């Protein structure tokens, strides 16, 4: 299906309110993100009701701003795409409802976007690889709420190879950072602290390292950090460095196993907020090089929640002739692989 114009993307699944306009060829015409970090930081995590109210207050102005900067009127759009799950239901209702209303009022097609699919397809954005990552590829989706190895076989065709048995990797970063007295969100603060530490000074476990398959487990690593911190015998920077080194080693090991489970993969792809971590990127780059594959990661600004990836899914799905009805309901739980058994 040929697109008649640019696509507007809307993201509101958690604590980032975002909007973006992409040309049909994937060029970013305008984008904006309103971060709620300051609002939630004093509570040590996201407060769903506050997040939903912030989305409601910020989204209309944010959309108007990106449309103006893109030089696009609503009637010129080829479609509207909005995150409709998984995530916090209040924010999903705000974003999906706004997107549907805009599409309906201007006679535009609407695409309800799976937030995980948005992360999964980000590497296909033109510019990251010539022509974008080609199917099939292996995806490591590493974020605060998700930790999965997925064989991305085509648009809408996702096969989960492994997932976390307890904490997601980003959640583990945040909890370890909190134990070290760092502000929320903890991942970036822990990475900065780790840069001045020596990992070898603090022995920490590397859960499931070498185990068959590519499932993850981080609760034991988090507990080990708590025990080290409680003893007070190690420098915080050394603990942070050891934690980051353990995570990077585990992620690399799981990626090696996952590649063996996904023969024919054209690339090793990492996406999600933890994909911004330099230690994790370096470990996965080494795995990809040994496998003779490119390691593809979005720019750091596109690793965390954003509307560029949402608009890109809109483009991919609209080109395939896929749209969603007005009664499509947001889904707080929406697995990529609907057929995968629970971990």
Over residues 36-56, the pLDDT tens digits come to 888 888 888 889 899 999 999
Q: What is the pLDDT of residue 145?
A: 85
- Binding-site residue numbers for Fe cation are 115, 119, 305
Q: What is the pLDDT of residue 6?
A: 98
Q: From its phi and psi, is residue 280 left (phi > 0), alpha (psi between -120 and 50) or beta?
A: alpha
- Which helix (H) or strand (E) segment holds residue 21: the answer is strand 16-22
Q: What is the pLDDT of residue 40?
A: 84
Tell me what the pLDDT averaged over the chain comes to: 95
- Binding-site residue numbers are 115, 119, 141-145, 174, 187, 191, 277, 305
Q: Look at residue 131 and tell me whether its pLDDT is greater than 80.
A: no
Which 3 state secondary structure label does DSSP give 291? helix
Residues in the chain: 343
- Binding-site residue numbers for substrate are 141-145, 174, 187, 191, 277
- In contact, 11 and 21? CB cutoff 8 Å: no
* Among 121, 119, 272, 270, residue whose Cα is nearest residue 187: 272
Q: Look at residue 127 and tell me whether its pLDDT is greater than 80.
A: no
Q: Look at residue 224 and tell me whether its pLDDT is greater than 90.
A: yes
Q: Look at residue 148 and tell me whether its pLDDT is greater than 90.
A: yes
Report CA-CA distances (Å) from 247 to 34, 116, 168, 169, 290: 29, 21, 11, 8, 19
What confidence category does residue 144 fall into, taking pLDDT thresholds of 50, 70 and 90? confident
- Which helix (H) or strand (E) segment holds residue 118: the answer is helix 115-121
The count of other CB atoms within 10 Å of the CB of residue 87 is 26
Opening angle at CA 231, ends 226 and 236, nearest 5: 65
Overall average pLDDT of the 253-269 stretch: 97
Overall average pLDDT of the 210-225 stretch: 96
Domains and CATH numbers, the chain: 7-122+302-319 (3.30.420.40), 136-297 (3.30.420.40)
Report CA-CA distances (Å) from 333 to 115, 122, 207, 318, 337: 10, 21, 27, 23, 12
Q: Look at residue 210 and tell me whether its pLDDT is greater than 80.
A: yes
Handedness of CA 188, 85, 90, 94 (dihedral sign): positive
Q: Which residue has the higher pLDDT, 266 or 44?
A: 266
Overall average pLDDT of the 286-294 stretch: 97
């Amino acid at each position: 299906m040929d697109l008649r114009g640019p696509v507007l993307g809307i993201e509101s699944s958690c604590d980032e309110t975002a909007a973006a306009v992409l040309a049909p060829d994937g060029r970013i015409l305008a984008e904006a993100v309103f971060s709620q970090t300051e609002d939630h930081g004093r509570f040590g995590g996201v407060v769903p009701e506050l997040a939903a109210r912030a989305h409601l207050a910020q989204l209309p102005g944010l959309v108007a701003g990106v449309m103006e900067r893109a030089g696009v009127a609503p009637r010129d759009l080829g479609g509207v795409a909005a995150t409709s799950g998984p995530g916090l239901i209040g924010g999903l209702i705000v974003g999906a409802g706004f997107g549907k209303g805009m599409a309906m009022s201007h006679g535009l097609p609407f695409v309800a976007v799976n937030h995980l699919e948005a992360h999964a397809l980000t590497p296909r954005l033109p510019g990251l690889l010539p022509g974008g990552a080609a199917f099939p590829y292996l995806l490591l989706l590493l974020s605060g709420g998700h930790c999965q190895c997925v064989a991305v076989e085509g648009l809408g065709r996702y096969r989960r190879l492994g997932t976390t048995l307890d904490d997601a990797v980003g959640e583990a970063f945040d909890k370890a950072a909190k134990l070290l007295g760092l502000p929320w969100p903890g991942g970036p603060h822990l990475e900065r602290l780790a840069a001045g530490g020596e990992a070898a000074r603090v022995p920490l476990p590397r859960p499931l390292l070498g185990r068959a398959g590519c499932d993850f487990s981080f609760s034991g690593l988090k507990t080990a950090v708590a025990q080290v911190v409680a003893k007070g015998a190690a420098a915080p920077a050394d603990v942070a460095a050891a934690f980051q080194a353990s995570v990077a080693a585990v992620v690399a090991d799981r990626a090696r196993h996952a590649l063996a489970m996904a023969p024919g993969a054209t690339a090793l792809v990492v996406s999600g907020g933890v994909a911004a971590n330099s230690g994790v990127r370096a470990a996965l780059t080494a795995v990809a090089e040994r496998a003779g594959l490119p390691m593809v990661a979005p720019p750091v600004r596109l690793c965390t929640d954003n509307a560029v990836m949402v608009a890109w899914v809109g483009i991919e799905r609209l080109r395939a002739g896929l749209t969603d009805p007005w009664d499509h309901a947001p889904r707080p739980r929406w697995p990529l692989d609907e057929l995968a058994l629970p971990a």
